Amino acid sequence: MSGLGGLNKTSGGIVIAAVQSQLFRVDTPADLAAATRHVCELVRRARREYPAVDLVLFPEYSTHGLTMSTEPAILCTMDGPQVAAFRAVCAEQKVWGVFSIMEKNEVAPKYPWNVGITINADGDVVDYYRKMHPWVPVEPWYPGNRGVSVFVGPGGVRMSLIICHDGMFPEMAREAAYQGAEVLLRTAGYTSPIRSSWELTNRANAAANLMYTASVALAGSDGTTWRSMGEAMFVGPEGEILERGNGVADHIVACEVRVDEVRRRRREWGVENNLFQLGHRGYVAVDGGAGDCPYTYMRDMVTGRYAQAEDSDVVVRDGTVCGFAAPTDKFVDEMVYKQ
């Protein structure tokens, strides 16, 4: 059930509009300003097209394009004009919005952050997320060092935002769900070769965690090299596709999300209540279930010894194949992990 594609909203539901915004080539500050204005106009259009909309979701790279440029002149800051414009339009339209920026990085100036920000209907930034898994070897962004965040969105719905390649790692969706996320938002700049994997992971992330997933990529061509796939998609907590888009640039796909469907399943299900059962293995035979960590990769990652069986055979280990210099910086982590 999708509320007739987001045209209707029932009590306890919220409407999310996923915008397959046009891919632009962005080389100059003027290009960046034009792309920002375009995004703001699409917020207004989403509000007109779907009066019940609570949150408008924009793709990764909607203001930056896919050139992977790290030119300082087209990088953003949280106190810069792009974020100010997004805050203003959300307050003007009384709607939440999720936006993408490439942000200057003081930690490693050569490698910007790939950032997603969520702004509420008062124009306040309520969530700031740095992409955890840049799409290597193609993307030059510094790996996110703040972890996966969960925030309370419109209607009291608990949400988490991940970006593009993040969604290919089931650990990302599981971490969001473990922290209480009921809706996983995923933004992307993906091109058409990823279409099959996009659907597969959007559905698997939903079903494995009894959560909604709401995902959207850029659409159209930048006129020179790249063409993005669009493919907005809403998936329900049992992995069923509720609404899906196409490749049309600036097409808006909306869906009503009812998180009571998530909450009931997580509370009441026995079979396939996987989020709970991961930490309570075999509770039929063992009082409370086994709560150990039987996964070698988890234990090795915690101790800094992660190495897959084929680790020594992996050929591509940096971005030189895509024209980037081999990095020399070590990772700087801002997270304070709970022991």
Active site residues: 60, 131, 164
Distance from C-alpha of 166 to C-alpha of 187, rounded to nearest angstrom: 10
Distance from C-alpha of 52 to C-alpha of 16, rounded to nearest angstrom: 9
CA distances from 67 to 111, 223, 248 (A): 14, 12, 21
Distance from C-alpha of 304 to C-alpha of 295, rounded to nearest angstrom: 15
What DSSP line would sit under 11-27, residue for residue? TTEEEEEEEEPBP----
User: For residue 83, how far is the Cα from the chain centroid?
Assistant: 18
What DSSP line would sit under 143-187, residue for residue? PP-S----EE-GGG-EEEEEEGGGGG-HHHHHHHHHTT-SEEEEE
Three-class SS state of 209:
helix
Amino acid (1-letter code) at residue 253:
V
User: Which residue, 272, 202, 270, is CA-closest to 236?
Assistant: 202
Q: Which residues contact 313 (CB under 8 A, 6 or more apart)?
A: none
Do 169 and 133 meet the contact criterion of CB atoms below 8 Å apart?
yes
Do 212 and 234 meet the contact criterion of CB atoms below 8 Å apart?
yes
E strands along the chain, which residues?
13-20, 55-57, 96-103, 113-119, 125-130, 151-152, 158-163, 183-188, 212-217, 219-221, 227-229, 233-235, 241-244, 251-258
